[in-house]
Chains A and B, each alone.
Chain A
Amino acid sequence: MTDTSGTPLLVVDDVAVHFGGVKAVDGISFEIAEGSITGIIGPNGSGKSTLIAALTRFVPLTRGALTFDGVDLHRLRASDIARHGIARTFQTVRLLPDLTVEENVRLGADVSKDRRGAPERVASALEATGLTEVRRSYPGELSYGTQRRVEIARAVAMAPRLLLLDEPTAGMNQGERTEITGLMKQLSADGLTQLLVEHDVQMMLDACDHLVAMAAGRLITNGNPADVVRHPGVREAYLGRKWGADARA
């Protein structure tokens, strides 16, 4: 099915999510190895975010199975997904305006049963994301890029086994993108498995061990990032049939 090495932490098997006649995701299969960074690329409307929503039980599956560490995710409630070790960030910044940065991150640390370790997890997540200095600020006082990092810190404080990042660098400048890529690599070095949805192909090449390409809800190809971006189907999906054909030539 895939060329990932190691034990699969997540198995996406023939997953389909249909909204009436719209096939947002239609028969996607791939695996994610523990400790890896897997990226999902594809043009707008290709079903990337819907797949993330299905993984966190925000939308029901029409068909297929999502198995995380042997657990069928669609037997769980949305609120139980976090307790099983899956954390996520959202496409748009979703911070609580009346909580400080530290409190927002603490919300993530609260998920674990280990209450005593929560302050330490918060401090470590703030440190890793470079937010210690602004921990007492409110989200409204921070720049967009910093708010994005607070979102990531909150997810990291959950001490997850799988981190789902939905366009984490959207709206960021190049410097901030590089920072986030470095942060992801650091988290990966610490053993955190990540699934990343992004439009920035260069960032995906820099950050990911494995790439999944989608278009119109279907899988084009998946595997080594450099091979995936060279795949004619991927070029066609991004550049159109004419340019894709030219690229093949």
Chain B
Amino acid sequence: MNAFYDGHVVIIQATFVGILLALSIQVPLRLGVFSFAGAGFYGIGAYVGGNVVIRADLQAVPAIACGAVAAAAVGLVLGLVLQRLNGLYLAMATVAFDLMIGVVAVNGGEWTGGPTGLYGILTDLTLPIILVVVGVFLVAAELSERGRAHRRIEAVREDPELAASMGIRVGAYRVVGFVVSGLAGGAAGAMNVMTRTTIGPADVGFGLVILALTMIIVGGALSWKGAVAGAILFTWLPQVLTFVGEWQELVYGCVVLLAGIFLPRGLYGLWVDTRRRLAARRRPPALSEQAHQDVPQEMTS
């Protein structure tokens, strides 16, 4: 076990960082907000985390907190500025934000290290610290998938007009989505820079959006369990696929394509739907429902 851990410590750490990155994109999506700003928040967390370690000599936990809070503050402003945008327009605006972070990374002078980036970011970060940080986010995500919070999040995503008629302040929920996305993305970026001890513009590019989206589309967009499944799958898949050599990218692409076609709600969605179907089969048909079977089915569409 120790030999396995020693041999895979980097990829194990990357898996947990990947979970937070996936969550940073998933949280707004669960609220029906097509925001890809999580990748930008990741960049902010990485550079802020790197700077406070280099300049203020902070250790891992306060540096992660600085990265997460800085990204959340930007998330708050971004959420307020983009409040009136929806759908593709919102997605485009957040992609533009990610690209702006990339431009700042290249042209940020001594704060970002320019095109070469920052080096020598050494801290006391250990796997238990990473586990605790990721654990805090997962517990918060689990709580948001239960009871009143879950019902309200479902309403905000599925039908904002209905949510408003149920007394829910849809705009406030969306802004909170940006802030939580900032916290998760910022913490992921800060932890990543500390595990690798370096950060550069190439590490905060648009590729992160693709990676995070792939994780949650295949894993499942509506639960943290989907984000975890996706992060594990797509962090370890390249490792598993080394035997196919140069065909790795093609196999990887095929996995994503097949998941998109056959698992539209992701692996977690498949689990939920199967469980629901089995439960419905076990339930005896309600008498009141049998009485209504003469209603034309086209009315249900």
Q: Across the two chains, which residue of chain B brings its CB closest to A131?
A: B288
B299 vs chain A, min Cβ distance (A): 4
Given contacts A98-B222, A138-B276, A143-B300, contact A79 B289 (CB under 8 A): no
Instruction: Judge whether A88 and B288 touch: CB under 8 Å.
Output: no
The complex places the Cα of A141 from the Cα of B292 at a distance, in Å, of 12
> Which residues of chain B are near A111, meaning CB under 8 Å?
166-167
> Which residues of chain A are near B166, meaning CB under 8 Å?
82, 107-108, 110-111, 158
The complex places the Cα of A187 from the Cα of B122 at a distance, in Å, of 68
CB-CB contacts of B164-205 with A at 8 A, as 1s and 0s? 111111100000000000000000000000000000000000
The complex places the Cα of A144 from the Cα of B295 at a distance, in Å, of 7
A137 vs chain B, min Cβ distance (A): 7
Tell whether A78 is near chain B: CB-to-CB under 8 Å: yes
The complex places the Cα of A138 from the Cα of B155 at a distance, in Å, of 15
- Residue in contact with B162 in the complex, picked from A81, A94, A144, A175, CB distance below 8 Å: A94
Tell whether A48 is near chain B: CB-to-CB under 8 Å: no
> Which residues of chain A are near B154, meaning CB under 8 Å?
96, 98-99
Tell whether B84 is near chain A: CB-to-CB under 8 Å: no
- Residue in contact with A136 in the complex, picked from B283, B296, B300, CB distance below 8 Å: B283
Instruction: Judge whether B287 and A96 touch: CB under 8 Å.
Output: no
Tell whether A103 is near chain B: CB-to-CB under 8 Å: yes
Q: Across the two chains, which residue of chain B brings its CB closest to A87?
A: B165
A102 vs chain B, min Cβ distance (A): 10
A248 vs chain B, min Cβ distance (A): 36
Q: A87-B165, A143-B293 are in contact. List 18 more A-B contacts (CB 8 A).
A: A58-B165, A79-B167, A79-B168, A81-B165, A81-B167, A82-B165, A93-B300, A94-B161, A97-B158, A99-B151, A106-B151, A110-B148, A111-B166, A134-B288, A136-B279, A137-B280, A158-B166, A173-B295
User: Which A residues contact B (CB, under 8 angstroms)?
Assistant: 56, 58, 77-83, 87-88, 90, 93-94, 96-99, 103, 106-108, 110-111, 130-131, 133-134, 136-138, 141-147, 158, 171-173, 175-176
User: Which B residues contact A (CB, under 8 angstroms)?
Assistant: 148, 151-152, 154-155, 158-159, 161-170, 222, 276, 279-280, 283, 286-289, 291-297, 299-300
